Copies of this chain bind each other. A is one copy, B any other.
Amino acid sequence: MSPDQTAYSPEALKAELNAKGWRMTPQREVILSTFQNLPEGEHLSAEDLFYRLQEQGENISLSTIYRTVKLMARMGILRELELTEDHKHYELNQPRPHHHHHLVCMKTNRVIEFKNDQILTISQKVADKYGFKVLDCQLTIIGVSPEGQRSIF
């Protein structure tokens, strides 16, 4: 994973886009900064982001949001999370030491974040073995929380 992307500036984004023949737009800038200002550990679905922007008076269409998050995920700026819920969530793809993983309760859908540096090390090693460049690595532990263990179903 590349250098600190939390401090990723609009200029840096523009440079990276232009390098590939793409363009900087106000929408893209707003979306990037929204993710940068998100409290650590919070992740948004496309729809979450849409409504959050609406509330801030930013009218960005859902289509643009879908297109943008997918683009940024491909660029390695966002990480695409697939937790138990049926839709994808996005959050900034952060370098150590902010990089984290998820523990999910299959019954209650509770999600707990945790950090662990060994995982990144392991991932790096595996990727090297196959000649892959690592963009992101996610350990998802699926289990049953204490509350879930008490429920019948």
Interface residues of A (CB under 8 A from B): 20, 74, 79, 82, 103, 105-106, 112, 114, 116, 118-119, 122-123, 126-127, 130-146, 149, 153
Q: How far is the CA of A145 from the CA of B134 in the complex (A)?
A: 9
Which of chain B's residues have a CB closer than 8 A to the CB of A137?
Answer: 139-142
- Cβ A130 vs Cβ B144 within 8 A: no
Closest CB-CB distance, A36 to chain B, in whole Å? 21
Q: Given A112-B130, A135-B106, does the pair A140, B140 have CB atoms closer than 8 Å?
A: yes
Chain copies in the assembled complex: 2
Q: How far is the CA of A141 from the CA of B105 in the complex (A)?
A: 21
Pick from B82, B114, B126: contact of A141, CB under 8 Å:
B126
Which of chain B's residues have a CB closer than 8 A to the CB of A103?
Answer: 126-127, 130, 132
Q: Identify 16 new A-B residue pairs, CB closer than 8 A, beyond the known A131-B145, A132-B144, A135-B142.
A: A74-B106, A79-B142, A82-B82, A103-B130, A114-B126, A116-B126, A119-B119, A123-B139, A127-B143, A132-B141, A132-B146, A133-B143, A134-B141, A134-B142, A137-B140, A138-B142
